[in-house]
Structure 1
Amino acid sequence: MKILIIEDETELMEVIRQSLEKESFLVESAGDYASALDKIISFDYDCILLDIMLPGGSGLDILQELKNMDKSDNVIIISAKDSLDDKLTGLELGADDYLTKPFHIAELNARIKSVLRRKSFGGKNTVELGNVKLDLDDRTLHINNQPLLLNRKEFDILSYMVVNKNRLVNKTSLAEHVWGDHMDEADDYEFIYSQIKNLRKKLKESQAGIEIQAVYGLGYKLIVL
């Protein structure tokens, strides 16, 4: 799962980043309006943590831009402004939650997981497809009630494919979701191929009731067998 932190307080941003990375999230950040706008235009995110007061502009304008682009990124406003008007405006513009500073990091983590479950998995923390059970909180996979060990990237790939089951997922979208903007440093998609190959092998050997099919030249599709 990929999260964007839009926050100009460097210390707070780093505390949030470290906490989320411990939870195995892929985290990117932006410290001002211009860089935040560039991020949301260039990439998609599972969740955006958005401060309202930003150098160079307002976080509410970022929300408006997301709405204009018809992007479905989950947004949690994190702001020192405990104004009812700001809260209502943010929610009307599509924000999913509002957390007033100062807050406990544990509460922020819980809210992020709640938003992700609500939007992507119908409010549940587990997803079952046939004999496959994916636990999003514990980041575990069971097939026929037996645990199957996945590395971090394999789990991120599988959870993204599950969200988009029966849909074609192109290589670029998959790379951006799992590796973030670091994918720009790669010369090719070999790093995706190797992870996908290992994941498909594990699923097949465990007789999983799902399969990740390669669509030549385009990407991948997860189907339920």
Structure 2
Amino acid sequence: MKVLIVEDEIELQKTLADSLRREHFVIETAGDFESASEKLALYDYDCVLLDIMLPGGSGLRLLDELKETGKSGNLIIISAKDSLDDKLKGLELGADDYLTKPFHIAELNARVKAVLRRKTLNGRNAIEFSNILLDLGERQFLVDGKDVALNRKEFDVLNYFLLNKNRLVTKNALAEHVWGDHIDQADNFDFIYYQIKNLRKKLQSAGAGIEIEAIYGIGYKLVEK
């Protein structure tokens, strides 16, 4: 899952990014209003961590823009301003949570996971479909209750497909979600092809009741057999 950190304090930005990467999130960062606005307009994120006080503009203004475009979900405000007015304004604009600096990194990680569970999995921490279960907390993949080993990228690819089951997933969308938005600098998408090829083999060998269909020239779709 992909998280955007909008924070102008470089050391804190790096600390947050390193911590969330250890939790297997794909991380993008922005240090000012303009770069954050550009990324939020171009890309979709599973969660946004947003500081209020930013060079070039207010984080609340960014949140207002997100609300207008319907993209304000899965957002946590992180700010040194412990103002009730700011908290209420942020929540009114669609923020899911509010953390006042300083905070413990473990608390932030827990809140990010809680927001994602509420929004994408109706409070659960696992995805079930057909005869498979993907446990996001333990990063474990089960077919008929038996563990199937996946590498980190295979797990993230399968997670994205399951969140979008029966829908067309383009190669670009998959690449941006799993590998980050710098993927547009890649020469080709061969690496996606190989990850999906290996994932298909594992699904078939394990007797999974799902399969990944190729939509020629466009992308893929995960369906039940």
TM over 0.5: yes
1:134 aligned partner, one-letter code: L
Cα deviation digits, residues 1-33 of structure 1 (max 9, x gap):
111100011111111111111111111100000
TM-score using structure 1 length: 0.97
Partner of 1:181: 181
Partner of 1:97: 97
TM-score using structure 2 length: 0.97
Partners in 1 of 2:223 and 2:60 — Cα distance? 39
Partner of 2:15: 15
Identity rate of aligned residues, in percent?
64
Q: Does 1:216 align with 2:212?
A: no
Give the gaps of 5 or more residues in structure 1.
Answer: none
Partner of 1:147: 147
Partners in 2 of 1:122 and 1:209 — Cα distance? 23
Q: Does 1:131 align with 2:140?
A: no
Partners in 1 of 2:171 and 2:24 — Cα distance? 22
Equivalent pairs, count: 225
Cα deviation digits, residues 171-201 of structure 1 (max 9, x gap):
1111110111221221111111111111111
Partners in 2 of 1:186 and 1:133 — Cα distance? 32
Matches within 5 A, 1:48-197: 48-71=48-71, 73-197=73-197
Partners in 2 of 1:175 and 1:46 — Cα distance? 14
C-alpha contact 1:60 1:90 (8 A) present in aligned 2: yes
For 1:166, what is the secondary structure of its paired residue? coil
Aligned CA-pair RMSD? 1.0
Partners in 2 of 1:197 and 1:88 — Cα distance? 48
Give the gaps of 5 or more residues in structure 2.
Answer: none
For 1:94, what is the secondary structure of its paired residue? coil
C-alpha contact 1:44 1:73 (8 A) present in aligned 2: no
Cα deviation digits, residues 28-76 of structure 1 (max 9, x gap):
1000001101111111111000000000000011111112222255100
Q: Per-residue deviation at 1:153?
A: 1.0
1:212 aligned partner, one-letter code: I
For 1:45, what is the secondary structure of its paired residue? coil
